[in-house]
Amino acid sequence: MITTNTLPAASGKGRLITLWTLSGLVALAFVFVGGGKLAGTAQMVELFDKVGLGQWFRYLTGLLEVTGGIGLLIPRYAFYAAILLVIVMIGAIITHLAIVGGSPAPAASLLALSGIIAWLRKP
């Protein structure tokens, strides 16, 4: 007799594969974008000039994004990294809407994906 609490082995394995694939893609995005902030690409320097808090804030944001991206790939820290990235993306959305303009869609997408990872990795 199969109960509703019993899941087929494939669904657990499929969930794990989906989680790792999602985590890898989101981690890659955050490491890439955060790395651009740390490297001081012209676009990022200009963006953070508009924010008006100074370039130290670009370094802080880049460091948080790269650290969070790497953390997504370490199961012990993945939940906390995802929560960190959700918070950073909330700040990015608010900044786009209130200060710099432009579309907050990329930040909103990363917020949603980070939230899904946090939900799937919750302790």
Position 12 confidence tier, pLDDT thresholds 50, 70, 90? confident
pLDDT value at 51 more than 50: yes
The predicted model scores a pTM of: 0.83
Position 65 confidence tier, pLDDT thresholds 50, 70, 90? very high
Position 15 confidence tier, pLDDT thresholds 50, 70, 90? confident
Distance CA 100, CA 6 (A): 50
68 contacts 84 by C-beta, under 8 angstroms = yes
Position 123 confidence tier, pLDDT thresholds 50, 70, 90? confident
